[in-house]
Chain A
């Protein structure tokens, strides 16, 4: 059975490249949300196998979205992978404290994004 992944990112281009990558390379089912609030709602409705979450978004940012997901029993156990263009060590330590499964970096390689996710979640 194909994995179901929720991508939450406010940037259309990143969202569409990630969708293309995960659908065409891994054959996964991809659902998308363009804001943290929309993502929290989609996660509760669709119960994806994992969430790929942008860090910097207007309104509800990535860390706040993680807290919202963790505070809802329906979404609390869904693995979250942060996607960020922040490369500084201080940012990475702050993100690691959120208790997410992995931090992936932009720009990502569309050919290997799904294997990065699989590797981080032990899906291989």
Chain B
């Protein structure tokens, strides 16, 4: 590493800066959750389109990539489950399953505490 900062102080400063980025990007993250929720509802009602499911799968993929970076590894695991759930056969059953997963994901994201 090139930085001369002490590891503890560096880690603390990084955590605080990450908290600020979390606040800044939370609306974007919740927007992705909302896309999945809307698609899950449409699937449960057997009214979802292929493009809606693809958008929701992409939103889950992005959440899987970012949540663990903010120390939400459980969120990444849930998002990965969601990402793989849009390919199953029975939309109606699958929509209900996805709705339950995304409800847990929303709760987890909303409960993230600042690390500082």
Contacts and interface: CB of A to CB of B under 8 A. Distances in A.
B18 A17 contact: yes
Contacts of B69: 14, 17, 106-110
Interface of B (DSSP majority class) = helix
Contacts of A26: 1-3
Interface in B28-73: 28-29, 61-62, 64-70, 73
B114 interface: no
Given A56-B61, A107-B65, A13 B28 contact: yes
B21 interface: yes
A103 to B, nearest CB: 14
**For A13, A109, A114, which residue has the most chain B Cβ atoms within 10 angstroms?**
A13
Given A26-B3, A111-B14, A85 B61 contact: yes
A20 B21 contact: yes
Interface in A9-38: 11-14, 16-17, 20-21, 24-28
Interface string A98-118: 000000001111110011001
The interface size bin for chain B is 20 to 34
Contact of A27 (B3, B62, B76): B3
A26 B69 CA distance: 17
A115 B65 contact: no
A12 B22 CA distance: 12
Nearest to A1: B2
B73 to A, nearest CB: 7
B65 A106 contact: yes
Nearest to A113: B69
B66 A107 contact: yes
B14 A20 contact: yes
Interface string B8-28: 001101100110010011001
11 contacts: A17-B66, A24-B13, A25-B3, A26-B1, A27-B3, A27-B4, A85-B62, A106-B68, A107-B65, A107-B68, A110-B18
